[in-house]
A and B are shown apart, each in its own frame.
Chain A
Amino acid sequence: MNQWLGFLKKEWFESVKTYKLMLVVVIFSILGILNPFTAKITPVVFEKFMPEGTFVNLPEPTALDSWLQFYKNVPQMGLIVFILLFSTMMSKELEKGTLLILLSKGLRRNTVITAKFFMALCYWTLAITLSFTITYAYTAYYWDQSQLQHLLFAASCLYVFGILLLAVTLWGNTLFATPYGGTLVTILVVIALFIAAIFPQSANWNPLELLTATTQLLTGELTPSDLWIPYTITLFTTILVVWLTISHFKRKLL
Chain B
Amino acid sequence: MVVQINGVTKRFGDHEVLKDIHLDIPEHTVFGFVGANGSGKTTLMKCMLGLLPLNAGSITIAGQSVTFGETKSNQYVGYLPDVPEFYPFYTATQYLELCAVITNMTKTERQGRIHELLELVGLADTTSLISTYSRGMKQRLGIAQALLNRPKLLICDEPTSALDPAGRAQILSILHKAKEETTVFFSTHIVSDAEQICDHVAMLHEGTIIFQDELVNLKQQMTGQFIFTFTIPVTEVHERLKNTPFKVKIDSEQLVVNLPDESTQLAFMQELTTQKILIQSMQPKTRLLEQLVLEVLG
Closest CB in chain B relative to A119 CB, distance in Å = 14
- Check if B51 sits within 8 Å of A104, measured CB to CB: yes
Question: Which of B34-85 touch A at CB < 8 Å?
Answer: 46, 49, 51-53, 69, 71-72, 74-75, 77-79, 81, 83-85
In the complex formed, the residue of A with least CB distance to B83 is A97
Contact partner, A106, options B52, B87, B102, Cβ 8 Å: B102
- Check if A2 sits within 8 Å of B85, measured CB to CB: no
Q: Does any Cβ of B come within 8 Å of A10's Cβ?
A: yes
Known interface pairs A3-B101, A102-B99. Does A97 touch B85 (Cβ–Cβ under 8 Å)?
A: yes
Residues of B within 8 A of A14 (CB): 87, 89
Question: Which of A2-20 touch B at CB < 8 Å?
Answer: 2-3, 5-7, 9-10, 13-14, 17-18
With contacts defined as CB atoms under 8 Å apart, how many contacts are there between chain A and chain B in the complex? 84
Residues of A within 8 A of B210 (CB): none
Residues of B within 8 A of A105 (CB): 74, 78-79, 99, 102-103, 145, 148-149
- Check if B69 sits within 8 Å of A98, measured CB to CB: no
- Check if A18 sits within 8 Å of B89, measured CB to CB: yes
Known interface pairs A97-B85, A251-B69. Does A7 touch B102 (Cβ–Cβ under 8 Å)?
A: yes
Q: Does any Cβ of B come within 8 Å of A48's Cβ?
A: no
Residues of B within 8 A of A10 (CB): 87, 98
How distant is the Cα of A132 from the Cα of B120 in the complex, in angstroms?
A: 53
Digit string of B86-120 for contact with A (CB within 8 Å is 1, else 0)?
A: 11011000000011011110000000000000000
Q: Does any Cβ of A come within 8 Å of B142's Cβ?
A: yes
How many residues from A make CB contacts under 8 Å with B? 28
- Check if B104 sits within 8 Å of A2, measured CB to CB: yes
- Check if A3 sits within 8 Å of B69, measured CB to CB: no
Residues of A within 8 A of B146 (CB): 101
How distant is the Cα of A251 from the Cα of B70 in the complex, in angstroms?
A: 10
- Check if A107 sits within 8 Å of B52, measured CB to CB: no
Closest CB in chain A relative to B130 CB, distance in Å = 11
Residues of A within 8 A of B89 (CB): 13-14, 17-18
Residues of B within 8 A of A97 (CB): 81, 83, 85
- Check if A108 sits within 8 Å of B71, measured CB to CB: yes
Q: Does any Cβ of B come within 8 Å of A239's Cβ?
A: no
Q: Does any Cβ of B come within 8 Å of A72's Cβ?
A: no
Known interface pairs A105-B74, A108-B71, A254-B51. Does A98 touch B86 (Cβ–Cβ under 8 Å)?
A: yes
- Check if A2 sits within 8 Å of B101, measured CB to CB: yes
Closest CB in chain B relative to A8 CB, distance in Å = 10
Residues of B within 8 A of A104 (CB): 49, 51, 74, 77-79, 155
Closest CB in chain B relative to A250 CB, distance in Å = 5
In the complex formed, the residue of B with least CB distance to A96 is B85
Which B residues contact A (CB, under 8 angstroms)? 46, 49, 51-53, 69, 71-72, 74-75, 77-79, 81, 83-87, 89-90, 98-99, 101-104, 142, 145-146, 148-149, 155
Known contacts A101-B85, A251-B69, A254-B52; 4 further A-B pairs (Cβ under 8 A): A6-B102, A101-B86, A102-B102, A106-B102
Ordered nearest first, which 9 A-B pairs have the shortest CB separation? A6-B101, A104-B79, A17-B89, A106-B71, A97-B85, A106-B74, A254-B51, A250-B69, A98-B85
